[in-house]
A and B are shown apart, each in its own frame.
Chain A
Amino acid sequence: MDAEKNYLVGVFDDEDVLLSGVTSIRESGVKIHEVYSPFPVHGLDEVLGYKRSRLPIAAFLFGLTGTSLALTMQIWMLGYDWPMIIGGKNFVSLPPFIPVTFELTVLLSALGMVATFMIVSDLKPYRWPRQFDLRSTDDKHVMAIDLALNHGKSKSEITSILKAAGASEVNEKNFE
């Protein structure tokens, strides 16, 4: 771990106050580490300046893998490795291969995307997160400000900016 890290933690009661607060805090030059919410707040990623997630691309690529895997498997198994006449159909006949191809496309796409999500979001069963405020999963929106990223500003200055932006309380949090 890094050396001691100091954070200022602003607590917001309402998602609309939070949304306008984030904009004014960013305009005042304070860098926000992250905002933690009990539920998804729509538009928060935009005001925080986050880029759109690329998970849809991952899902598409995994889906494509599923399609090719399914087609290769069926064509090779029934067409070349052990060709058998079934109901007078061609050895390689695409229509009956569609259901399995569709299912494997969906399966690989879903599993691959979810695994990617878990990895990029650092979600693991044995990981205890660094919690800034336990109420962030209950009913409060919690904004963490890393003091190391805001050298130019004093604690009291940032506190007053947070208060002005609508934070109902501002606390300090230290991690070792």
Chain B
Amino acid sequence: MQVSSVVRDPLVTGGKTVKDVSHDISRQVEGSPTRLWWMAMAVSSVFFAFGFYCVCTLLWNGVGVWGLNKTVGWAWDITNFVWWVGIGHAGTLISAILLLFRQRWRMSINRAAEAMTIFAVICAATFPLMHMGRLWLGFYWALPLPNAFGSLWANFNSPLLWDVFAISTYFTVSLVFWYIGLIPDFAVIRDRAVVQGNMLRANVYNALSFGWQGGAKTWMRYESVALILAGLSTPLVLSVHTIVSMDFATSVIPGWHTTIFPPYFVAGAIFSGFAMVLTLLLVTRVVFKLEDYITIYHIELMNIIIIVTGSVVGVAYITELFISWYSGVEYEGYAFYNRVQGPYAWAYWSMMTCNVISPQLFWIKKIRTSIAATFILSIIVNIGMWFERFVIIVTSLHRDYVPSSWTMFHPTMYDIGEYLFTFGLFFCAFLLFAKFFPVINMAEVKSIIKVGSERVAAEEIPVMEESNDTHH
């Protein structure tokens, strides 16, 4: 019999043992990269190299090479920044919030999702830094450091400065959380390398594992650390995108000055983050043959989160429209009329289609358990979420209070180039991670083999058989 429980589907299929887990997941790290990996790396490197040229040109000439103008002072740069930060949210949500809620299905996806978070936040951070123009002064202006202008300090009343603190804290804590999780798994690779006689690898992974041994006392402390980090990261997940939304909400620009922004941005971030996790994991599980660990059940559960957050985002769009009319403020009303009807209506309706209609397809079980449909929809959601940020930023700016300054925004090669740069950076980093680091948290998956896998089902839990009988 291959049924483990009538209540839940098995989290690990294929009758895996604890030993199989070490083998299946360490094997990518130990073997040489596949042809597919090299191909993906080559494509990502081309993006990276072209983007790097654009970034260098930007730093040499200044932000004038972008398509910004007097009216539209924020465009692709801040759109991309908010989009990448949003992408990052799913990783911390999976590792922190789902850990606190004792959701065991997070275990085979948390490692890759956290890696995604870290790389996405790095990509995000490049945009505000580039936008400052003089990158080398950026850190110095943004941080409260003693400076040459008398004792002039950074302005702690500004949401832009809160952003600096929020993003850097988020990045640091996510990195630490991710690394703490990697430590026991590095030790697995080290010990396998000792057995295989590869002392170079053993030494490298021993250094990475900080000499981990896995004593009961260390595991006890480790679990305590993981739980507190989850407890600390949970409000952090909510605070980061809330603060990003305040960059807009505390301004007086019609279309930005909205109290719904914090929860709406957080939901949107989780929405796009889960879409990106799905895009990445659907590829990873096939390339690394991890179908037994990242199962259709995992994909289905992530799709359910997409339905929930997608619906929240949909409600927020409609609320925004309603309030712009109900408030009776003519500028606010015009900003939204212009979004729906103006020259950027195509962007608005792309956003509506991608974000409001497409996730609703996941109500159909056949679609949310289909790999192909999930893959396509996950990309559509990410496109839609990019448009959401573009619509908020550009449509609110391009027609301001003075009609003589109304204008359009046209991206230049350098706008596009820097976006491609972050794609190259992100995928190069993710591919290196997938090659040299275990992509699935072995220690956590091992701990559920006994209760959450297909294998034990029939053999060792007679109670389950009884309940199966009554059920069928």
Do they bind each other? Answer: yes
Bound state CA distance, A44 and B219, in angstroms?
Answer: 10
Instruction: Please give me the residue from chain B that is nearest to A115 by CB atom.
Output: B176
**Chain A 90-112 interface 0/1 with B at a Cβ cutoff of 8 Å (1 = within):** 00010011011011101101110
By a CB distance below 8 angstroms, the chain B residues around A77 are 144, 151, 153-154, 156
Question: A137 with B191: in contact, given A39-B446, A82-B151, A129-B213 (CB under 8 Å)?
Answer: yes
Q: For the complex, is B383 an interface residue (Cβ under 8 Å from A)?
A: no
Chain B residues near A134 (CB-CB < 8 A): 191, 194-195
Chain B residues whose CB sits within 8 angstroms of the CB of A139 once the complex forms = 17-19, 22, 446
How many whole Å from B111's CB to the nearest CB in chain A?
14
A109 nearest in chain B by CB position: B232
Q: How far is the CA of A125 from the CA of B183 in the complex (A)?
A: 11
CB distance from A146 to the nearest CB of B (A): 13
**Interface core residue of A82, A89, A110, A113 (most chain B CB under 10 Å):** A110
Q: Chain B contact residues (Cβ within 8 angstroms of A): what range? A: 35 or more
What is the distance, in angstroms, from B192's C-beta to the closest C-beta of chain A? Answer: 7
Min CB gap A83→B, angstroms:
10
Instruction: Give chain B residues whose Cβ lies under 8 Å from the Cβ of A81.
Output: 151, 153
Query: What is the chain B residue whose CB lies nearest that of A70?
Result: B165
One of A35, A82, A97, A135 near B215 (C-beta < 8 A): A35
* 0/1 interface trace, chain B 156-175, chain A, CB 8 Å (1 if under): 11110110011001001100
Cβ–Cβ contact B213 & A103, under 8 A: no
- Taking CB atoms, residues of chain B closer than 8 Å to A137 are 22, 184, 187-188, 190-191, 212, 214
A40 CB-CB contact with B under 8 Å: yes
Contact A40 B447 (CB under 8 A): yes
Tell me whether B183 and A99 are in contact (CB under 8 A). no
Contact with B along A118-142 (1 / 0, CB 8 A): 1011111111111100111111000
Residue of B nearest to A142 (CB): B214
Quick check: B172 and A107 within 8 Å, CB to CB? yes
Contact pattern, B 203-226, Cβ under 8 Å of A = 1, otherwise 0: 000111011111111111111110
CA distance A131 to B122 in the complex (A): 37
Given A15-B450, A55-B228, A117-B225: A50 touches B220 (CB 8 Å cut-off): yes
Given A87-B157, A134-B194, A139-B18, are A34 and B162 neighbors across the interface (CB < 8 Å)? no
The reply to whether the CB of B236 lies closer than 8 angstroms to some CB of chain A is yes
Q: Which residues of A contact B155 (CB under 8 A)?
A: 78, 84, 86
Question: A9 interface residue, CB < 8 Å from B?
Answer: no
What residues of B have a CB within 8 angstroms of the CB of A131 in the complex? Answer: 191, 213
| Chain A residues near B166 (CB-CB < 8 A) | 99, 103
Task: Determine if B151 and A111 form an interchain contact, defined as CB atoms under 8 angstroms apart.
Answer: no
Q: Which residues of A contact B443 (CB under 8 A)?
A: 38-40
Contact, CB under 8 Å: B169 / A107? yes
A15 to B18, CA, bound (A): 11
Closest-by-CB residue of A relative to B226 is A40
In the complex, chain B residues whose CB is within 8 Å of the CB of A104: 165, 169
**What sequence of 0s and 1s flags, for each residue 37-51 of chain A, a beta carbon within 8 Å of any chain B beta carbon?**
111110011001010
**A74: CB under 8 A from chain B?**
yes
User: Do residues B444 and A39 form an inter-chain contact, with CB atoms below 8 A?
Assistant: yes
The bracket for how many chain A residues form the interface is: 35 or more
Q: Whole-angstrom distance between the alpha carbons of A165 and B24 in the complex?
A: 31
Q: Which residue of B lies closest to A80 (CB)?
A: B151
Tell me if A86 and B157 are in contact (CB < 8 A): yes
Interface residue B235 (Cβ < 8 Å from any Cβ of A): yes
Which of these, A39, A73, A102, A121, contacts B221 with CB under 8 Å?
A121
Chain A contacts for B150, CB-based, 8 A: 82
| Chain B hits for A117, CB < 8 A | 180, 221-222, 225
B186's nearest neighbour on chain A, judged by CB, is A137
Q: Shortest beta-carbon distance, B247 to chain A, in Å?
A: 12
Closest to A100 in B: B165
* Distance between Cα atoms of A45 and B220 in the complex (Å): 7
Q: Contact flags (1/0) for A147-164 with B, using CB distance below 8 Å?
A: 000000000000000000
Residues on A close to B: CB < 8 A?
Answer: 15-16, 34-41, 44-45, 48, 50, 53, 55-56, 59, 73-74, 77-78, 81-82, 84, 86-87, 89, 93, 96-97, 99-100, 102-104, 106-107, 109-111, 113-114, 117-118, 120-131, 134-139
Q: 13 new A-B pairs (CB below 8 Å) besides A74-B156, A81-B151, A103-B239? A: A39-B446, A59-B232, A77-B153, A78-B157, A86-B158, A87-B157, A99-B159, A99-B246, A104-B169, A113-B228, A123-B218, A137-B187, A138-B188
A/B interface sample: 14 pairs, CB < 8 A: A38-B184, A82-B153, A102-B239, A106-B232, A111-B172, A121-B217, A121-B221, A126-B207, A128-B211, A129-B212, A137-B187, A138-B19, A138-B191, A139-B18
Interface of B toward A, CB cutoff 8 Å: 17-19, 22, 144, 150-159, 161-162, 165-166, 169, 172-173, 176-177, 180, 183-184, 187-188, 190-192, 194-195, 206-208, 210-225, 228-229, 232-233, 235-236, 239, 243, 246, 442-444, 446-447, 450
